[in-house]
Structure formats: C-alpha cells, structure tokens
Amino acid sequence: MEAKEQSKAFEAKFADPRILLLHLDHADRRRQTAQAMGYVETPLLILQDNRTYWPPRSSFLQSLITPFEEPSTGGVSPILEARHRQHPVSWKGFWNFLGMAYLTRRSFEYCATYGIDGGISTLAGRFGVFRTSNYASKEFLDGYLNVYVLWGMIGPLNADDDKFHTRWLIEHDWKIKLQAGPESTATTELGERPKLNEQILRWMRTTWRSNPRQLLLHY
C-alpha cells in the first residue's frame, strides 16, 4: 500500500511520459537495477543512489560523459561530498562529522591513487555513468545477480554492487575514469545515526566478502 501511494505521488509530480517508474515487491538493489536495464535505449546510462544529488549546472553531466570519447572507457565516476546537516555541537552533529570525514578521506584516496597510476579501489556505487552495451548484456547480468562468497555458501549478494562493477570492468579490459574537478562534484546524504551505524556494518562485511577478491585484480 505504501509503495502504491508513493508511486501515485511520484507520477503526479513527474508527468513526463518519458519517465518510467518500475517496482519490485522485495527490496533488492541488484534485481531492481537489472529490471531497469531492459528499458535503457541510450548508449550511456546513469546509476544513482536515491540519496545522491546532481549540482544545478549543465557542466556536471558534460564533464562525466567526456571520457567516453575514448572507446576503451567503460565507467566514469564523479567526486562525492557529504551534505552537511548544519547540526550545532551535539550527538547528531558528531555522527554527521564522522560520515563527512569518511567520505572526504575516501575522495582524497581516490584522487591520489588515480593521479598516480590511474587505479581506483572501488567505483562509487552512489553515482556512476556506464556504457549500456556492457551493463545490459546477459554476461554482465548473470554475474551481477549471482555473486556468492565463501565457496558458494553465502549469496547471492545484494550489497557490494560497487565492488562488482569495478571488478567486471577491470576483468573485461575497460578503463575506469575519475572526474575530480569542481564541475564534477555531486553531493550525498551520509553520516547520521542510526544510518551511519548500518552503513559501517555493511562496510565491515565488505572487508571479508569482496575485498580479498578485489586484491587479486590487475589494473
């Protein structure tokens, strides 16, 4: 009932017939993404988290699609900054600061490793631009929906899709680009309790679920 009401509100606000709203009864990020792949008709597609926001300028998208002029580019990521909640000195403000500090540290890490040798540990799952021909392929979707760890005992995974994107592009000899200029910066909501605690728990799981396999990749 809640999803139906939200759908009506969305369709009332966005009446453009080019906008198609899809729904799955069970919340599963990977299957939700795979469901939408069959409807993409453009050469490039954008995967965006519902808590990530574009800056209000046309140069943002232009800066992200420019690297695709190189035929070997498979995915492009912007820099993400956490939205400051403007909390006063408080418990909520402390958790907001921790989230912002984490995201800032990761952005510096990505810029540094990419600037040194073009490497990046993980293509951001919150916002990215990709070639549709890759992500709508049967080979990609079969792997995307059937990730198992610990010798097949745990899975299929719903989380860690950003790790899968990164591995798949590298394993199939596609280049990953990072656009780090001021015109290529988006914002995202991160860092308030209890949401931050849940995110930290997922990141901890990633340490043993996906990172060991990630270390075996060769850029």
| Within-domain flag for 28 | no
The residue type at 83: R
> Does residue 142 lie within any of the structural domains?
yes
Tens digits of residue pLDDT in 41-100 = 999 999 998 889 998 888 999 999 999 999 999 999 999 888 777 767 777 778 778 878
- Residue 161's contacts (CB-CB under 8 Å, 6 or more residues apart) are 29, 30, 33, 125, 144
* Percent of residues, the chain, with pLDDT higher than 70: 85
pLDDT of residue 155: 75
18 located within any domain: no
Report the predicted TM-score, pTM, of the whole model to 2 decimal places.
0.83
- Dist. CA 187–CA 135, nearest whole Å: 24
Does residue 8 form part of some domain? no
| H-helix or E-strand spanning residue 189 | none
pLDDT of residue 192: 65
Q: How many domains does the chain have?
A: 1
User: Which runs of E-coded beta strand occur in the chain?
Assistant: 44-48, 52-53, 73-77, 79-82, 127-131, 175-178, 185-188
CB 154 within 8 A of CB 47: no
178 domain residue, yes or no? yes
Q: Is the pLDDT of residue 116 over 60?
A: yes
Residue 205 lies in a domain: yes
Residue 121 structural domain:
41-214
Q: What are phi and psi of 21, to 5 degrees?
A: -100, 120
> Quick check: 182 and 172 in contact, CB under 8 A?
no
Instruction: Report yes or no on 199 lying in a domain.
Output: yes
Q: Percentage helix, strand, coil, to 5, in the chain?
A: 45, 15, 40
State the Cα–Cα distance between residues 101 and 119, nearest whole angstrom: 22
Q: Per the domain annotation, does 27 fall within a domain?
A: no
